[in-house]
Amino acid sequence: MENVNLKINGLSVTAPEGSTILEAAQSAGIRIPTLCYLKDINEIGACRMCVVEVKGARNLVAACVHPVSEGMEVLTNTQKLLDSRRRTLELLLSNHDKKCLSCVRSGHCELQELCQELGVTDENYFEGEMSHYELDESAVHMVRDNNKCILCRRCSSVCEKVQNVGVIGPNNRGFETFIGSAFEMGLGDTSCVSCGQCISACPTGALYEKSSIDDVLAAIADEKKHVVVQTAPAVRAALGEEFGYPMGTDVEGRMAAALRRIGFDKVFDTNFSADLTIMEEAHEFLDRVKNGGVLPMMTSCSPGWIKYCEHYYPDQLAHLSSCKSPQQMFGAITKTYYAEKMGIAPEDIVCVSVMPCTAKKFELQRDDQYAAGVPDVDISITTRELARLIRKVGINFRSLPEEGFDDPLGESTGAGVIFGATGGVMEAALRTAVEELSGETLEKLDFTEVRGTEGIKEATYSVAGMDVKVAVASGLTNAKSIMDKVRAGEADYHFIEIMCCSGGCVNGGGQPQVHADVRNFEDVKAIRAKALYDNDAAKKFRKSHENPSIKKVYSDYLGAPGSEKAHHILHTTYVKRTVN
């Protein structure tokens, strides 16, 4: 690709042909503000915040979509531009609920930040009619507040282009336009998969997860309840961002310390049940291979993916592993094995999960998730909610010491921690399944072919004289590509890992929100995933079947992977759903 030469604010800049002015400016260290723009997702030039002056052009142009050309001269910070951007913000605020103090995004709102930068005050320069919308609280996992929507369309673009769901979009025209679902259905009445990627994309407080913080505090305050907490692999790779740590910092030790100070009776690690999942999933895979079961087998760890499959591929449910997700397996083993070991009635245990995922809130209320006759998991909060909880109870996160998890459900392997990255479940399963198939100890544990943030990855491994073909997909648009091949009988894979969110759980809908200025130009998924792979490499045990606590659970309680008891406690069923 050839380069072109241009000038931005008098500075000579070289950029690849086909680049936009926004990209060229970014490469030169010049920031042009944006609101609606998300790279490769929402490039529509609608909000007009990124307008710039181009010599010879009759009007201001949108930098996010306007291509560079040889000899172009661009100005990005003239008074005319500053006035134009300020006026745009004032117009947006003229139909915006400006209750910033009570907004969950206050201090982390892109609209609020731009207003501060450009000197827009609380005065309403354009008074007149304002829209009013009732909150949409119909979904289990989130709330829609269109009174704070700025019609940037980032949410609907993510829903359609990245997740292939498309249950939200602009309705009506002109001043009456609002983001909603077809026929003005509540989001909970649609085939939304609860992934929360719309929340991650939203620049304001128009979308947010339903908070369960008060439920957690109430459980802890109840002296009759034994309250345990589990934390997902990806949480430790992102929680630090909420407290000023660089992206990709592993804060596992301080996270455990914070949870202990919040008041949980036991602080455990979902990595333990990730190892447990591998034991069951690898056994299930080997059983299907040896006994003519349905292939390819597909992972079942991601509740957003499972709901998507139930809605859009109900004829393919037999391909899904029957294993519960690590969140649900943890709750199931807590209220059976742990409850028996500790002499606590299952109904007196409250199991709280900290997840990078809003779909986990939906998963709690699925059928067949009651191993002990009570819900496996009672409350699920996101990484963002945990950060708010830590601040709410007055914990100085950065001053905390490094602490470990409690036994016996806190011990894990490197295979468990990499569940949080796309390809991680596949790699963890291969570490166990290959040794089972071959009867030999693996010398090389890193299955690098399934690593990386590409949407679809394929690999073939020769094991015990058999070619094992695998595929990995993340993001539901990529899942659709794989599933269409499976449905058509064109997929000759043996094992498929699918994660609902692009890049896996590190990029889940419950993770800290990343400003568009960062997500447009940094590979957030890769940066967070590196923390998990580094954690894996430092572990004493890196294969799930080597976890001493897992061995003990089977020897003392479950018997063996795939046993009748293990199947009753750790496996589940699926339902066919309609598309709305």
- The strand pair at 169-171 and 178-180 is best described as antiparallel
Q: What is the pLDDT of residue 463?
A: 83
Give the domains, in start order, of the chain with CATH numbers.
3-77 (3.10.20.740), 93-209 (3.30.70.20), 214-570 (3.40.50.1780)
| pTM, two decimal places | 0.96
Which residues are bridge partners to 170 per DSSP?
A: 179
The residue among 359, 296, 297 whose CA lies nearest residue 325 is: 359
pLDDT bin (cut points 50, 70, 90) of residue 466 is confident
Q: What confidence category does residue 438 fall into, taking pLDDT thresholds of 50, 70 and 90?
A: confident
Which tokens belong to 173?
């025209």
In this structure, are residues 280 and 299 in contact, taking their beta carbons and an 8 Å threshold?
no
Cα(130)–Cα(120) distance, rounded to whole angstroms? 19
User: Tens digits of per-residue pLDDT, 153-211?
Assistant: 999 999 999 999 999 999 999 999 999 999 999 999 999 999 999 999 999 999 999 99
Q: What is the pLDDT of residues 34-61, one digit of tens each?
A: 999 999 999 999 999 999 999 999 999 9
Give 436's pLDDT tier (boundaries 50, 70, 90): confident
Residue with tokens 């609920």, as numbered in its chain = 97
Q: What pLDDT was estimated at residue 124? A: 64
Best CA proximity match to 475, nearest among 435, 512, 509, 450: 509
Instruction: Give the list of residues 6+ apart from residue 290 with CB closer than 8 angstroms, or none.
Output: none
The whole-number pLDDT of residue 464 equals: 81
Place of tokens 């951007």: 85
* Beta pairing class for 495-499 and 297-298: parallel
Q: Show Cβ contacts of residue 546 under 8 Å, excluding neighbours closer than 6 positions.
A: 413
pLDDT class of 122 with cuts at 50, 70, 90: confident
Helix, coil or strand: residue 406: coil
pLDDT tens digits, one per residue of 481-527: 999 999 999 999 999 999 999 999 999 999 999 999 999 999 999 99
% of the chain surpassing 70 pLDDT: 100
**What burial class does residue 210 get, using C-beta atoms within 10 Å of its C-beta: 0-12 exposed, 13-18 middle, 19+ buried?**
middle
Proportion of the chain in helix, strand, coil states, percent, rounded to 5 = 40, 15, 45
User: Which residue type does 478 have?
Assistant: N
Indicate the residue type of 215.
D
CB contact at 8 A, 318 and 297: no
108-to-111, 200, 293, 395, 515 alpha-carbon distances in Å: 9, 12, 49, 20, 8
The number of helices, as runs of H, and strands, as runs of E, in the chain is 20, 17
> Would you say residue 330 has pLDDT above 70?
yes
Work out the pLDDT band at 106, boundaries 50, 70, 90.
Answer: very high
pLDDT digits over 235-261, tens only? 999 999 999 999 999 999 999 999 999
Q: Cα separation of 484 and 490, whole Å?
A: 8
Single-letter code of the amino acid located at 384: R
Q: Coil, strand, or helix at residue 482?
A: helix
Mean pLDDT of 332-346: 98
Is 562 in a helix, a strand, or coil?
Answer: coil
Tokens of 128: 């007149």
Structure tokens that stand for 580 in this block: 């709305």
Question: Which of 327, 285, 279 lies closest to 302, judged by CA?
Answer: 327
The torsion of the CA quartet 408, 409, 411, 415, rounded to 10 degrees, works out to: 150
